[in-house]
Amino acid sequence: MTEKIKVCHREELELDTRKVISVESGKEIGVFNVGGEYYAVENACPHRGGPVCNGQIQKEIRAEWRGPGNRIEETISSIPTIACPWHGWEFKLETGEHIGDSQIYVKTYEVVVEDDNVYVIC
Amino acid sequence: MTSHYIVDSDAHYLESLPELAEYIPDNNPFKQRFKRSPGKMFPSSGYPDHYMYGRIQRDEVGYLKGQMVPEDIPTAMEIVGADAIVVITQKMLAFARLGGDDERPELISNAYADYMLDRVVDPKEGIYALLVLPYQDPERAVELIDRCGGEKGFAGACMICGGPEPPFGNRKYDGIYEACQDAKLPLVFHAGGASLDYFYIKGYEKFIETHTLGFLWSNMSQLVSIVIQGVAEKFPGLKIVFQESGILYVPSLMARLDAEYLKRASEAPILTKRPSEYMSKFYYGTQPLDEPRSAEYFQKAIEELGGASQLLYSSDYPHWDYDPPSAITSIPFLTEEEKELILGKNAQKVFGI
C-alpha cells in the first residue's frame, strides 16, 4: 500500500535545495532538487543510522586508466551522490546504492510533481 | 612424514657471496667489492640473534655456519618432507633496504638469476627458485623477466617487501606487473627481514617484538597499497602471493580495509568491489603459522580469507621459526582434501610445478 505525501509547493523546493520531512511511520525522508531533478531518500544511513539527508551532495568520482604506467585519472561524472555526514558513506541519489558496494543502499522514493506540488510516494 | 604430495613454497638458501661474485661481469667494480668485502654487500637483517643464542639449532645444513651449498637443498627437502621446493636466496631478503648505489639492485638480481640457474635450481629434482626483481629500477626488472622468466627453474618472480618507496601500488611498477602477467609468472611479495631494524632502532627491545611487528608491517603495508591502488583490477590475470607473515593478519586487514573503503570509496574509484574481495583471490604462504587459542576462530578466519584454496604451505626452512608440514596436517578442522590443497596442489597450480 503506497501513500502519496505532499512535501511542499514546487517553488518552496528551489534549485539545489532540500527538505527533510517526517512521515507518519516516524521516518524522515529527504527530498532534493538537484539540478532540476528530484530525488527522495530515507534519512537513515544503513551504516550507523546517521542523518544521511543532511549530508553533502556531489557528483560521483569515476576512474579511468589508460594502461600500464599511466596514472589512474579521476573524473567527476554526472551522477549525483550524497554522503552521510557521520562517516562519509556515499550513495547515488537516483538508486540509493552505496558507491563502493551496490549490495548496500539507502531507501529511495519516487518523487512526483502534480499541480505545482511536490509529492513523495512511500 | 605424511603421504601427501608436498610443495614447500617458501624456503631459503644461504649463498656464498664470493661464488655469487663470479656471476658479475669481469669489468664491473662490484665484482671486486663482492670478493674483497662480501659482508658489506647487503645490510644486516636484524641485530639480535634470531636463534636465541644457541637455543634453536639447525645443524643439518650449513646455514648457521654462514653458508649453504646446493647439496643442502635436498637435505632440507628431506627434513621438511617436501617433494618440491621453492627457494629464495637468504641475502636477497635484505633487498628492500638497498638504498644507495643505483646499479647494485639490478646487478645483484641478474647475478643471482644466473647463479641460481647455474648452481642451484634443478626442476627434475623438484628444486625451484624465485626470480628476485630489482624493483627499484622497473625497466631493468622487466628486462630480467624477459631474459629469465621463461626458465623452468624459476617458479615465479618475487618482490621483497620491507618499505619500498613508493609502495608497490604505485604506477611506477605497472610494467613489472604487466610483464609477469604476460609471462604467466606468479608474483610473490615476500616480507623482508630488513624491516626489523627499524623497530629496533625506534626502541623496541627484543627480537620477539621486532619480528612480530616487522614481518606484519612488511606485508600489510604493501597489501594495502596494492589493493587500494587497483593492481588486481588493472592486471586481472596476475597471480599474487604474499609470503611469510602467517595468515591471520589477512582477515583482520580485509575487515579494516572494507571499513575504510565503505567510508572513503571516492578515494578508490578504480575498485569495483570491496578490498576483501580482491584479497580473497590472492594466495598466502602459511608460515609462520599463527597459533590462535580457538580452533573455531581459526576455521572461520581461513574461510574469511578465501578458504583452503588460497593457502600455500611454506616451511621457511632453515629459519628459526620454520614450520614442518605437521603445522598443516595437525589442524583439526581441515578435511583431507583441504590439507592436500594447502600442502601441495595449490602450489602446483600457482607455480606450475
B172-218 residue pLDDT tens: 999 999 999 999 999 999 998 666 667 777 788 888 888 888 889 99
Per CB-CB distance under 8 Å, the chain B contacts of A70 are 171, 174
Contact B244, B215 (CB under 8 A): yes
Is there a contact between B265 and A70 if contact means CB atoms under 8 Å apart?
no
CATH of residue A17: 2.102.10.10
Is there a contact between A100 and B262 if contact means CB atoms under 8 Å apart?
yes
Q: Does A57 touch chain B (CB under 8 A)?
A: no
Per CB-CB distance under 8 Å, the chain A contacts of B265 are 90, 98-101
> Least CB-CB distance to A90: which of B230, B265, B270?
B265
Q: Which of B190-194, B286-290, B339-343 shows the lowest mean pLDDT across its residues?
A: B190-194
Query: Long-range contacts for B202-208 (Cβ within 8 Å, ≥24 apart)?
Result: B206/B48, B207/B46, B207/B48, B207/B49, B207/B50, B207/B52
Which of B148, B41, B143 shows the shortest CA–CA distance to B98?
B41
Do you find a cis peptide bond into B167, omega within 30 degrees of 0?
no
Contact B248, B285 (CB under 8 A): no
Q: Does A71 touch chain B (CB under 8 A)?
A: yes
Q: Does the pLDDT at position B1 exceed 50?
A: no
Parallel, antiparallel, or unpaired: how do β-strands A117-121 and A108-114 relate?
antiparallel
Q: Does A27 touch chain B (CB under 8 A)?
A: no
What's chain B's average pLDDT? Answer: 93
Q: Which domain holds residue A21?
A: 4-121
Q: Give the separation between CA B349 and CA B121, rounded to whole angstroms.
A: 19
Distance from CA of B317 to the nearest CA of A (A): 37
Q: Does A68 touch chain B (CB under 8 A)?
A: yes
SS3 B341: helix
Per CB-CB distance under 8 Å, the chain B contacts of A69 are 171, 174-175
Task: State the average pLDDT over residues B233-243.
Answer: 98
Distance from CA of B94 to the nearest CA of A (A): 27
The pLDDT value recorded for residue B47 is 64
Q: How confident is the model at residue B46 (pLDDT cuts 50, 70, 90)?
A: low
Taking only the tens place, the pLDDT of each residue in B52-88 is 888 999 888 888 888 899 999 999 999 999 999 999 9
Q: Give the separation between CA B126 and CA A106, rounded to whole angstroms.
A: 55
Contact B4, B340 (CB under 8 A): yes
In A, minimum Cα distance to B270 occurs at A63
The pLDDT value recorded for residue B92 is 85
What is the ipTM metric for this complex?
0.96
The pLDDT value recorded for residue B67 is 86
Return the DSSP state at B129: E
Domain count, chain A: 1
Is there a contact between A71 and B171 if contact means CB atoms under 8 Å apart?
yes
Distance from CA of B203 to the nearest CA of A (A): 35
Share of chain B above pLDDT 70, in %: 97
